[in-house]
Structure 1
Amino acid sequence: MLLVEDESLVAMNVEDMLLDLGCEVVLAMRLDKALAYASSEPFDLAVLDVNLGDARSYPVADLLFERCTPFLFATGYGRQGLEGAYRKVPVLQKPYQAGPLEHLLIHLLTCEVPARKDNLELRVACACQDPGCPEGSGSFRADPGR
């Protein structure tokens, strides 16, 4: 999992939450590092802080869209704080809490998510719509044996 977060204490807290869920985490605290990781390594998921100091994480989001990597934005401003082209991306409201983080990760792994930012989205089939698999059933474990 790629975690892009520029605040040290927040990054450590979220990294701990993700590790508790069994994720392997690659942390980028600057836009240039996040772009390098997103363009060179495959990730199953990503969590992007929107505001990275003077920069925004939108270029990383664009790379993840191109690679069809599910991701969410984390921001204290909610969906209203996003540029219009990114408003269909799931948003985790800061401050981070373990329950909502886990819920959104499950959603990213099992449900329809935008695969592109423009109006010509591709959609990933949602396992949650299967009558035998109600949304929220089970819990997220990146490493079930852990």
Structure 2
Amino acid sequence: MDHYNNSLSSILDIHAPLKTRTVNFTRSAPWYTNQHRAMKRSGRVLERAYTTSGLTVHKLAYWEHQKSYAKALSSASRVRAERMSLIRRQKVVCCQCWRHSSLPSLLSIPPSPPLLSSTSRSSRLLQHSSSTAPEQHPRPCP
């Protein structure tokens, strides 16, 4: 018996060797909550009741449940899409705020002021620092 099993496994290894494959698991929708799972389970119960009995009452209950389930899913996905859109818009606003912040001016090398006498030099430095100050953004970034 061992000889038979060994010969079969060697033939299989020759003609159909084992191959490793990478499997990508898809993530579930982030807006699909436990409430949606419970609704789906109750819908399955109603579906089984309808298919086993065939009664109009069970059919109507199943259809009404499916309508409410579809509405719940679409509203949840719509709310998620609106939130993501809002987040994207806030990121764009923050990127636009970058131009109004003081960070770009801090990262750039300011031009060196000219060498003058001590009193005129201090007044020139004050004048130079006030001219290179970044303009204030009308509202703070979130």
Q: TM-score, normalised by structure 2?
A: 0.20
User: Higher helix fraction: Structure 1 or Structure 2?
Assistant: 2
Please tell me whether Structure 1 or Structure 2 has the larger radius of gyration of its CA atoms.
2
User: Higher strand fraction: Structure 1 or Structure 2?
Assistant: 1
